[in-house]
Amino acid sequence: MTHPARSRLVVLVSGAGTNLQALLDAMADPAYPAEVVAVGADRADTGGVTRAQQAGLPTFELRVQDFATRADWDAALADAVAAYEPDIVVSAGFLKLAGVRFLQRFAGRYVNTHPSLLPSFPGMSGPQDALDHGVKVAGCTLFVVDAGVDTGPILGQAVVDVRDDDDASTLHERIKTVERTLLVDVVGRMARDGWTINGRKVTIP
């Protein structure tokens, strides 16, 4: 059976890269409608880049401190990503906010996965903030990145129960289990069916 051309994904990482790995595992099935074509990081020695290299994929590392200005870094990041002609850019544990240049270039097709049920608990410590608030369910959100911090239109969410003995680490790990599944599922549907953004509402037909 032949399959139509797969959507091209560039994935940006800063850490372990288990969400990236979920996409790499998914694309091993030729029926999965997207493929990772390159992986970029904002720092050296990330598990994510190592995973990409083990998969035989091209990688790039662009550190903010190696550029004269943040805008220069942002432009270089946009150029590095664009060189791989992605259909979708995935921020999978990428701990930098993209700038204006990057957001303009990939408007509507730059997606980020975040470990909270947005709009609750945006920012760097979603699981801890959820615990501190005493919520009984937590989860993750995949969204289209806009100029705010974790404010963009929502593509999908998944929920986990909060346990009485959870700390931020155990809760985050449980969230990441459903986060990886959500990422593979939603990116696959976007690639296969397309998507439209109307204000805050995203529709994947």
Strand partners of residue 143: 112, 154
In the complex, least distance from residue 185 CB atom to ligand GRF, rounded to whole angstroms: 15
Which residues carry out catalysis?
114
Give the residue at shortest CB distance from ligand GRF.
93
Is 16 near ligand GRF (CB under 6 A)? Answer: yes
Alpha carbons 78 and 89: distance in angstroms, whole number: 10
In the complex, least distance from residue 93 CB atom to ligand GRF, rounded to whole angstroms: 3
Site string for ligand GRF, 128-167 (x = CB under 6 A): ----------------------------------------
- Among positions 40, 86, 115, 188, the unique one binding ligand GRF when judged by CB under 6 A: 115
Is 114 near ligand GRF (CB under 6 A)? Answer: yes
119: preceding bond cis by omega (within 30 degrees): yes
- Among positions 33, 40, 86, 93, the unique one binding ligand GRF when judged by CB under 6 A: 93
With H, G, I as helix, E, B as strand and everything else as coil, classify residue 40.
Answer: strand
Rg for the chain, CA atoms, rounded: 17
Is 40 near ligand GRF (CB under 6 A)? Answer: no
Is 92 near ligand GRF (CB under 6 A)? Answer: yes
CB 125 within 8 A of CB 171: no
> Residue type at 169?
S
- Among positions 7, 59, 113, 157, the unique one binding ligand GRF when judged by CB under 6 A: 113
Task: Candidates 30-38, 49-57, 62-70, 108-116: pick the segment binding ligand GRF (CB under 6 A).
Answer: 108-116
Residues in the interface with ligand GRF (CB under 6 A) total: 14
Is 17 near ligand GRF (CB under 6 A)? Answer: yes
Is 99 near ligand GRF (CB under 6 A)? Answer: no
Non-local CB neighbours of 26 within 8 Å, separated by 6+ positions: 32, 34, 184, 188
Tell me the helix, strand and coil percentages in the chain, rounded to 5.
Answer: 35, 25, 40
Distances (CA, A) of 3 to 30, 33, 117, 192: 8, 8, 35, 11
Token pair of 121 as six digits: 């608990």
Judged by the rule CB under 6 A, the positions of this chain that interact with ligand GRF are 13, 15-19, 48, 92-93, 113-115, 176, 179
